[in-house]
Amino acid sequence: MDQSLLLVKIAGETAALDSARIQSVVELEGLTPVPCSPSHVAGLAALRSRAMTVVDCRRSLELPDAEDGEADGEGALAVVVELDEFLYALLVDQVEEVVPLEDEPALLRTELLPGWARATLGMVETSAGPALLLDPAQLVAGPGDVLGHAVEKAMA
């Protein structure tokens, strides 16, 4: 298998996303906030004629918001994924590099922070060191989706 991973930085940690699921990496221009939306949804942005739902990965992983100086909101980098025919832009702090996937993700036996634990598919070893492989669907679902979390756990 020629699988590769995109390494990103979220709140100082390196995380990996399956590059096969990624459509592109974009710099967000213009964000339309959507009132009353879940806290991890930053709003809507346009990718050509399609609207993307912008997901703040920090919020989704239940991590503190970025401090001044770190990338956030407008001009921020986002990884675009498509789930069930909807486009989502996952806001990350930095995009590092694309590396080949060397091994299947391994389950971590340690307890992680709840946000990370919910969104991860396991740990992967890469040429740039170990990283958590993230599930875009869980990032989109956000912390509110307790049921999805439970199902995931039961299946593991």
Partner 1 sequence: MDDLLADFIAEARDMMEALSGEIVAWENDPGDKERLDAIFRFVHTVKGNCGFFDFPQLEKLSHAAEDSLADCRAGRRQADQALVTAVLAVIDRIAEMVDAIGEGGELPASDDDALIAALAEGAETARPQETAAAAPSSKTARQTATPRTIRLPVDLLDRVMSGVSDMAVARNDLARRLAQSNGETGLEAPFNRLSAILVDLSEAITRIRMQRIDTLFAGFPRLVRDLSHELGKQVMVEVESGDVEIDREMIEVVRDPMVHIIRNAIDHGIEPPAERLAAGKREIGSLTITARQTGSEIRIGIVDDGKGIDGDKLVAKAISAKLITAEEARALTPRERNMLICLPGLSTAKEVTAVSGRGVGMDVVRANIEKIGGSLVIDSTPGSGTRMMLNIPLTLSIVPSLTIGVAHHTFALPRSYVEEIVRSAGEEMDKNWMGGRKFITLRGQRIPCVGLEEVLGLESSCPDDARLYVLIKLVGGDVFGLAVDAIHNHEELVVKPIAPVLMACGLYVGTTQLDDGSPVPMLDIAGVARAAGMISEVKDRTIRTGAGETRVEEKDLRPALLFVGFDGRERAIEMDDVRRIEKLPRSAVRHATGDTAQIVIDGRIVPLLGLSGELPDRELAMFRLGDGAGEVAFAYERMIDLVEFDPLSITKAKRSGERLALVGGRPVELLDASALEARAPVTEGA
CB of residue 36 vs partner 1: minimum separation in angstroms?
5
According to CB under 8 A, which one of 76, 88, 93, 133 is a site residue for partner 1? 88
**Could you give the strand order of the β-sheet that contains 13-18, starting from the edge strand earlier in sequence?**
94-100, 4-10, 13-18, 129-134, 120-126
According to CB under 8 A, which one of 20, 24, 27, 86 is a site residue for partner 1? 86
Candidates 15-23, 35-43, 62-70, 103-111; binding stretch for partner 1 (CB under 8 A): 35-43
Q: Token match 């979220």: residue?
A: 10
Taking the chain, what is the end-to-end CA distance rounded to the nearest angstrom?
A: 23
Spatial distance between the Cα atoms of 37 and 27, rounded to a whole number of angstroms: 22
Binding flags for partner 1, 101-120, as an x/- string (CB under 8 A): --------------------
According to CB under 8 A, which one of 12, 48, 67, 69 is a site residue for partner 1? 48
According to CB under 8 A, which one of 2, 12, 49, 107 is a site residue for partner 1? 49
According to CB under 8 A, which one of 3, 27, 50, 75 is a site residue for partner 1? 50
According to CB under 8 A, which one of 1, 2, 12, 36 is a site residue for partner 1? 36
Give the list of residues 6+ apart from residue 67 with CB closer than 8 angstroms, or none. none
**Half-sphere exposure of 40 toward its Cβ, with a 13 Å CA cutoff?**
24
Instruction: By CB under 8 A, tell whether 147 contacts partner 1.
Output: no
Instruction: By CB under 8 A, tell whether 73 contacts partner 1.
Output: no
Q: What is the dihedral of CA 148, 144, 74, 23, to 10 degrees?
A: 10
